[in-house]
Amino acid sequence: MAKKIKTSKRDIILEEAAKLFKERGYSGTSMRDLAEKVGMEAPSMYNHIRSKDEILEIICFHIANTYVSQLSKIESSEDSFIDKLKALIRLHIRMIIEDGAAVSVTNNDWKFLPDDKLKEFKDIRRGYEKRFAAIIEQGMAAGEFHDVNVSVALFTILSAVRWVELWYRPNRGVSAKALEETITTILLNGLVK
């Protein structure tokens, strides 16, 4: 995994905000807390960012748009539906490993977005889930997947990969690659031989 290059004070603020929001929750973090974390005076922060709401918006929409753009690439590939589903599972795991704090904030604190942004975010999220479900449905129609309830399959997969953020640590003796392979195997094949 490549380390992110911090190119600006704004990027540092966003990265540290995601960590604090994950640790304390959006509502439990103040701009003063964030200013202290990045080594600035609170009023100076406003030279780089307008508000805590803007920080949440930037984090949530960056992660949501990353998922959507990667989904578009996966959908347009000539891969089998099994390989498309594997790619989606790997995408979620990679995002958690590479940008876990921001993914956690997006998964847990999106509900604090201002009303106009909340509606937009929910629309993006629903659209993503609908397109993800379509891959499962198409895989069933093509005979690649068992005929199961699509909603149950979709939310089982999404729930499984979202929980990775709560327990995965690189020092647990599981590499990112092994994590992806194991979760993909369990979700697509189960444990039974």
Alpha helix (H) ranges present in 48-149? Answer: 52-76, 81-109, 115-141
- Residue 34 forms part of a structural domain: no
How high is the pLDDT of residue 2?
45
Percent of the chain with pLDDT over 90: 72
- The total number of structural domains that make up the chain: 1
The one-letter code for the residue type at 44 is: S
pLDDT band per the 50, 70, 90 thresholds, residue 5: low
- Residue 26 forms part of a structural domain: no
What's the CATH code of the domain at 146? 1.10.357.10
- Whole-angstrom CA distances from 141 to 89, 133, 137 are 20, 12, 6
Q: Give yes or no for residue 76 having a pLDDT over 50.
A: yes
**Within a 10 A sphere around the Cβ of 146, how many other Cβ atoms?**
8
What is the rounded average pLDDT for all residues in the chain? 91
Q: Give yes or no for residue 1 having a pLDDT over 80.
A: no
pLDDT band per the 50, 70, 90 thresholds, residue 7: low
- Residue 24 forms part of a structural domain: no
- Residue 8 forms part of a structural domain: no
- Residue 62 forms part of a structural domain: yes
- Residue 82 forms part of a structural domain: yes
How high is the pLDDT of residue 192?
79
- Residue 149: give the domain boundaries: 51-189
Q: What is the mean pLDDT of residues 32-41?
A: 89
Rounded distance between C-alpha atoms, residue 45 and residue 38, angstroms? 9
Rounded distance between C-alpha atoms, residue 84 and residue 135, angstroms? 8
State the greatest distance between any 2 C-alpha atoms of the chain, in Å, as a whole number: 60
- Residue 93 forms part of a structural domain: yes
Q: Which two tokens stand for residue 53?
A: 């709401």
**Within a 10 A sphere around the Cβ of 131, how many other Cβ atoms?**
15
Say which DSSP state 116 is in.
H
- Residue 27 forms part of a structural domain: no
pTM of the model: 0.88
pLDDT band per the 50, 70, 90 thresholds, residue 145: very high
- Whole-angstrom CA distances from 102 to 62, 97, 145, 159, 161 are 9, 11, 32, 17, 15
